[in-house]
A and B are shown apart, each in its own frame.
Chain A
Amino acid sequence: MMQNSLSFFNTRILKNSLSSKNIVLCLFVLLFPAIMYYGLDSISLILSKINIYPPIPPGDYMVYITVQVCIYILLAIGLNIVCGYTGLLDLGYVGFYLIGGYTVGLLMVRLGLSYWFALPIAIIHGAGWGLLRGAPTLRLTGDYFAIVTFGFAEFLRIAVKNEIWLIGDINGFVKKIPPVSIPFTEIEFRENWHHYYHILILIAIVIFVSYRLQHSRIGRAWIAIREDEQAAASMGINISRYKSLAFAISAAIGAIGGGFLAQFWGDLSARTFEFWESILILCMVILGGKGSIKGSIIGAIFIGFLGEILRFIPDQLDLPELAGARYLVYGVILVLLMRFRPDGLIFKKSG
């Protein structure tokens, strides 16, 4: 157990993971904006000299959509804690995304608080709602749990649309969220590559927390609950406590995603947090294989970029009515996955 719980810092594992493939991957991730700005744009520039105009998107746009996908990576890792580890179907994850977004947005706009104070408050706020939602649903399993979570998220969205005294505008609009600056410096997060490194750090923290939890006593307790709740209880696992913990941590991660989104977009609207967004995140987790961090990340990258491509093609072909095809594809993916690979396309579930 000692070896296991220390594995993240285990030098032997660290040495093994320093393969050339991983180093290249790390460098790619770290230098991604530079590659996009200098690589992609210069390719387009060279090709344009010889009068070829392939539909290569500009580098800045690529970085922008990568940041969007990174938000989904963060959310997928968060949802994976409830859906993957404890095996409960959460259809309302977007609710915590909403809470994080509006907490940061409103604290920054209406109280003028700094992002660096607003984000921790949002995380605690999100975790609080996770516990609040979790407490009455502890004894529910299966589809009843799914339905309550779904109702919860939809209720929050409607509340945000209606509580004008709180939000300050109709339809949940929060506008002109100021850009974030690094304390004691003049640097403001305005460019897309600023946001990219910002979310990269957040993802690193979340992966670290999630990884350490998965390989700890807590993670094993979650997996035991997933496999057989009664057996887990009879082995002395405090079901309520561990489930509540999973809800709170998962909700907190969702709130981080929302908080980031608020300052990234600068505007919030209730329409961002519709039910389909939950399904999108669920689709990512299931595609990658429930219970696997790597799977969630790859699922989020795949679905996220697929969505952007499916948005890009109708734009290029000038067929706006095909924009709905995005969600059609997600639906078909869900059906096919459940039919042929219910444990996910990429990784088998661990444990």
Chain B
Amino acid sequence: MDEFFQQLINALVLGGIYALIAVGYTMVYGIIQLINFAHGEVFMLGAYFAFTLVTAFHLPFWAAVPISMILCAGFGLLMDYVAYRPIRNAPRLSALITAIGVSIALQNIARIIWGAKPRPFPSDSLPSFMRQLGQNETPEIYFSLLGIEFTQANISFSENVSIAYLDFFIILLAIILMVALNRLVTLTKIGKAMRACAQSRIAANLMGINTNRVIAVTFAIGSFLGAIAGVMVGVREYIEPTMGYYKGVAAFAAAVLGGIGNITGAMFGGLLIGFAEVFGAGYIPYGYGSGYRIAIAYIVMIIVILIRPTGLFGKSTGHRA
């Protein structure tokens, strides 16, 4: 049972990260029906930007992360302006091929600049609670409350179940950002404009909404959220040029599962894919689970597209694809 709870916590963390990336896919798809393949690369760049700011510019972590997020948001705007806006009215497959082209180009630019080797986030630049302890270090216990021990590195519920502060922070951050995004889309004027554009871009335009600006803002928000997810994955695991590709596909699967174009769906889809991946890797026997870990997202994605293309939360739009 201990293992189960530990996996549950891991799944929550992974799911939160996927949800943060998936909203970027789903928002763009909702408005311009484009699978923005390059979104995973923005996520990867977020991690690399923060890494560079910390190592080369010696900025403190708390300054590097917001700057990296803003840089990525700007990058999203640039991508939209340079690559996608000129072909807005071209056939949809042209846009998809462009997105793939942008994705490959960015991934290899990163490879040329930062090298192909996976790099850990430098641990001495991290705030103290995010640091992971070495194998032999026993964490110092600060205090315990109702049998829950708050130690130097984690909150420990029992001997084998604990949640690192970093993971706790990621879950908290994901929840806060998701709620904020939800408020933004439902309550503000720009959110209203986004929803209008998603329903019909032409009609929104006729109502005096500057659709190009709304699309640009969508790209910026998606990239902003993707960047923080990138930094968190970078801190928790490591940074490499292909991370955007693998995590991006899993997040895209999450967006499809939740019903592409649906923000709430993307959040739940992210959680579900996180659960499927962690529990699949943990409980499918004979080593198949870990070997096929990446494939789980692909399988879920294919099954959803074939059986229920509108996803779990999506409404049928009448036309498909």
Contact = CB atoms under 8 A, between A and B. Distances in A.
Interface of A: 89, 91, 136-137, 139-148, 151-152, 154-155, 158-159, 161-162, 275-276, 279, 282, 286, 321-322, 324-328, 330-335, 338-339, 342
B104 A276 contact: yes
Contacts of B108: 324-328, 331
A146 B96 contact: yes
B91 interface: yes
Contacts of A136: 306
B112 A321 contact: yes
Interface in B79-117: 83, 86-87, 90-98, 100-109, 111-112, 115-116
A175 to B, nearest CB: 21
A301 B111 CA distance: 26
A338 B101 contact: yes
A144 B97 contact: no
Interface of B is mostly: helix
Given A151-B301, A325-B112, A282 B256 contact: no
Given A152-B302, A324-B111, A89 B93 contact: yes
A65 B45 CA distance: 34
Contact of B90 (A158, A328, A342): A342
A317 to B, nearest CB: 14
Contacts, number: 127
Interface residues of B, number: 46
A20 to B, nearest CB: 39
Interface of B: 33, 35, 83, 86-87, 90-98, 100-109, 111-112, 115-116, 245, 249, 252, 256, 288, 291-292, 294-295, 298-299, 301-302, 305-306, 309, 320-321
Contact of A158 (B116, B291, B309): B291
A276 B37 CA distance: 13
Contacts of B109: 328
B103 A331 contact: yes
A162 B291 contact: yes
Contacts of B101: 330-335, 338
A162 B288 contact: yes
A342 B94 contact: yes
A339 B87 contact: yes
Contacts of A91: 100
Contacts of B115: 321
Contact of B309 (A89, A144, A282): A144
Given A140-B320, A144-B320, A338 B98 contact: yes
Given A141-B321, A144-B309, A334-B104, A155 B94 contact: no
A177 B254 CA distance: 41
A148 to B, nearest CB: 5
25 contacts: A91-B100, A139-B320, A140-B306, A142-B92, A142-B321, A147-B35, A151-B298, A151-B299, A154-B295, A155-B295, A158-B292, A158-B295, A279-B100, A282-B97, A324-B116, A325-B108, A326-B108, A327-B107, A331-B100, A331-B103, A331-B108, A334-B97, A334-B101, A335-B98, A342-B94
